[in-house]
Amino acid sequence: MRKILLAIDALNINFGAIDFACYVARLSKSKLTGLFLENSLYEEVEDAAYVSAGANELSYNQRQAITEQNIQLFKEACEKRYVVANVHRDRGLPLNEIVEESRFADLLILEPGLTFRKKIVGAPSAFVRTVLTEAECPVIISPESFEGVNEIVFSYDGSKSAVFAIKQFTYLFPELCSKKTTLLEVDKNSEFTLHEKPKIIEWMKAHYTDVHIEMLTGTVEDELFKHLIEKKDLIVVMGAFGRNAVSAFFKESRATLIMRTTNLPIFIAHY
């Protein structure tokens, strides 16, 4: 991995997301690009979903001054953390800009509450959920605070998308091969295809040195919540957004509860 994007509302910088992104960049020895979404077209957009909080109350010069200040803060934060940083200033519609930028990136990092609505309604925001369905590279939802990775939890339901996410994460983060790795099987019917299980375990052990297998039976979102509620210092890996496990996991009420109570980074890859 060489190019990481961090999506930033140019008027509302999030230092927790920057700190996490710098951790990922240092771990993978990658450059970090701050994607400053200025949304200067908001005057032409009727949908309030694309209006940054408070943006319509600021003059053009005020918005530019805040953006410049936040860019400087971002550069200083990266420099203090020994991370090589770039800045892209995107002045179009935030969703369109993120999707286009993600096409030419290895990884996109988003804070769960990133929004361009006047009122934040919870995490993940509607904007973030939309980005997850359209991003053209893997995405990590950043935690509010982060100290490191001591364990990787792969959510596995036997689907192609789950296997794809596991592979994508592994290829992007070979530096984590010695960490504790848990293959968490979630099956509401407890009927996983038996002939596939040895194959995924064999693949896991070829890439990781400390592999554990755990089986949960029940409703996907409920069992994931119960398993993750008291966890810390780990990253969760899930399959394509909008399909079965992840779709259920990201129902607004459930996702808000999990993100607010676990404070865990979540890696999502499309199949």
Q: 10-residue block means of pLDDT along the chain (271 residues)?
A: 95 95 97 89 43 62 93 97 95 90 97 74 77 92 91 87 93 97 74 70 96 81 76 86 52 55 85 71
CA distance 196 to 101: 36
Ordered alpha helix ranges (H), the chain = 15-28, 60-80, 94-102, 126-134, 160-172, 197-207, 220-228, 244-249, 252-262
Specify the pLDDT at position 45.
Answer: 42
Residue 155 CB coordination number (10 Å)? 27
In contact, 123 and 113? CB cutoff 8 Å: yes
Specify the pLDDT at position 20.
Answer: 97
Q: State if pTM tops 0.95.
A: no
Specify the pLDDT at position 232.
Answer: 86
Specify the pLDDT at position 182.
Answer: 94
In order of their start, the domains of the chain are 3-141 (3.40.50.620), 151-268 (3.40.50.620)
Closest CA to 269 of 183, 170, 149: 170
Specify the pLDDT at position 43.
Answer: 40
C-alpha angle 260/136/258, rounded to 5°? 10
Q: DSSP string of 18-50?
A: HHHHHHHHHHHT-EEEEEEE--TTGGG---GGG
